[in-house]
């Protein structure tokens, strides 16, 4: 990969793709695709029109009315790999009372595009589509294989009408050898060195309900009933603590690269000591990247008890959002939960509501090499580091459906680095740097030609 693409061609084709990506992002932000309910259709029609006019074969496939998934294809002359640029059109809600500007403004202020989806992930969708459309309009076609642009619905609510449905019901439409999605590419600095993340895997959500039972009674007579809600209190207090570190391969390699020391995982305290050293030097990196990679996490999120203010609850429950490293599932989640809860779990019921085994792609692939080579040209001497994402995205469904597919998250982001950008994802005042959108669009322009010739 890369030997057919000359540097001058990169410069010519990349001339205005960044500004086109910014303009497209502004339009996308102004289309409210908050999920639920989603209403992704208008955004998908805009993207489909952009790609169709550039020579792509575009189709909209919907599991639900008004919520289509876009699949756009640019075919090569001979057989070869399929490279998929993947993204999703929906966003999480935005509470306008918490924002200092309109979440659907889509304006550019101080070099930043502002609005819901600017970081997750209409920025990447705009960069992918703008780059693909620029290539198509310029008459470029894959020398071998196909370029696929897939923008899904419903990612933020589990993908039942999006990637999960597409990969199950229309695998022939989205089958890919290489996939680039969200989850990686954000940069951070440590000791004067800059690093970019390459997301090679994702943890699996293994959520469970923790339930207590008691006896109902009138709330004015606390000595009469048996308050189920109070029985949850000791368990909730225990969940302030997280399970011990797990020496996952990506996590150990990540910490070793940042600390410059090999970690002997057979030494009981070696990993813990290395993480503590890193926490002192880079607290944000440790909180956002290192800790989630190296732990099964247990976080209580939703509680419910009495249905009436004057009734002692006979049943109380709390939903625990548990995330496990790739390859682990319900068994490991239950073991870690029981270990953390200890005696506080006695008398409680634990019922799993979601059990997804996380998955990963190998960090050693031609696509990873191509990304590393591109980074060496775009931002030397930055280092590319594989990570496992704490969250969950459509990458999971593509890895699960297509065993041989290499699926990464990578959208390069340098201007707005990890400490500033991470809190904006799903947060208030979401925005993205114009310079980063330009960098991302140029990356997709280059990587497509490197992979497909």
Establish whether 64 is a catalytic residue: no
Which residue among the candidates 20, 41, 90, 430 is catalytic per the annotation?
90
Closest CA to 30 of 133, 121, 128, 107: 107
Q: For residues 334 and 102, what is the distance between their CA atoms, to the nearest angstrom? A: 43
Active-site position among 20, 155, 202, 317: 155
**Angle between helical axes of 17-29 and 122-137 (0-180°, round to 10):** 130
Looking at residue 403, the DSSP 8-state letter turns out to be T
Structure tokens at 99: 């924002």
264 belongs to the catalytic site: no
If you search the block for the tokens 């006019």, which residue do you land on? Answer: 53
Look-up of token digits 């709330």 = 219
Q: Are 113 and 106 within 8 A, CB to CB? A: yes
Residue pair 126/437 in contact by the 8 Å Cβ criterion: yes
Tell me phi and psi for residue 383, to 5 degrees.
-115, 140
- Paired with 70 in beta bridges are 60, 151
User: With 0-12 CB in 10 A as exposed, 13-18 as middle and 19+ as buried, what is 241?
Assistant: exposed
How many other CB atoms are found less than 10 A from the CB of residue 139? 7
Active site residues: 90, 155
């Amino acid at each position: 990969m890369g030997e057919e693409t000359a540097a001058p061609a990169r410069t010519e084709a990349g001339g205005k793709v960044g500004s086109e990506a910014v303009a497209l992002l502004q339009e996308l932000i102004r289309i409210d695709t908050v999920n639920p309910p989603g209403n992704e259709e208008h955004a998908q029609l805009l993207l489909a029109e952009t790609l169709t006019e550039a020579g792509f074969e575009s189709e909209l496939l919907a599991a639900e009315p008004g919520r289509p998934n876009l699949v756009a294809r640019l075919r090569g002359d001979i057989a070869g790999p399929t490279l998929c640029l993947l993204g999703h059109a929906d966003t999480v809600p935005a509470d306008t009372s918490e924002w200092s500007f309109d979440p659907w403004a889509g304006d550019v202020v101080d070099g930043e595009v502002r609005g819901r989806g600017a970081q997750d992930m209409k920025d990447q969708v705009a960069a992918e589509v703008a780059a693909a459309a620029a290539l198509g309009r310029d008459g470029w076609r894959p020398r071998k294989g196909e370029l696929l642009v897939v923008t899904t619905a419903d990612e933020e609510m589990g993908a039942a009408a999006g990637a999960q449905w597409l990969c199950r019901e229309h695998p022939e439409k989205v089958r890919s050898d290489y996939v680039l999605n969200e989850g990686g590419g954000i940069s951070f600095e440590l000791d004067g060195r800059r690093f970019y993340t390459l997301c090679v895997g994702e943890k699996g959500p293994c959520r469970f309900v923790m339930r207590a039972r008691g006896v109902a009674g009138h709330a004015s007579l606390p000595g009469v009933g048996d308050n189920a809600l109070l029985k949850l209190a000791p368990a909730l207090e225990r969940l302030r603590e997280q399970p011990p570190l797990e020496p996952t391969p990506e996590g150990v390699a990540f910490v070793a690269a940042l600390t410059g020391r090999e970690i002997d995982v057979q030494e009981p305290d070696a990993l813990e000591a290395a993480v503590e050293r890193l926490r002192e030097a880079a607290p944000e990196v440790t909180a956002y990247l290192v800790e989630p990679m190296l732990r099964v996490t247990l976080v209580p999120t939703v509680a419910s008890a009495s249905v009436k203010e004057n009734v002692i609850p006979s049943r109380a429950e709390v939903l625990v959002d548990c995330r496990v490293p790739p390859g682990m599932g319900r068994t490991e989640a239950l073991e870690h939960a029981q270990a953390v809860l200890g005696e506080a779990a006695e008398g409680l019921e634990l019922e799993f509501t979601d059990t997804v085994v996380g998955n990963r792609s190998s960090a050693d692939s031609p696509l990873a090499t191509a990304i590393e080579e591109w980074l060496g040209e775009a931002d030397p001497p930055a280092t590319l580091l594989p990570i496992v994402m704490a969250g969950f995205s459509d990458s999971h469904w593509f890895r699960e459906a297509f065993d041989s597919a290499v699926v990464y998250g990578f959208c390069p982001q340098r201007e707005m680095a990890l400490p500033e950008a991470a809190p904006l994802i799903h947060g208030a005042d979401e925005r993205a740097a114009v310079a980063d959108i330009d960098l991302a669009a140029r990356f997709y322009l280059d990587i497509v030609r490197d992979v497909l010739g």
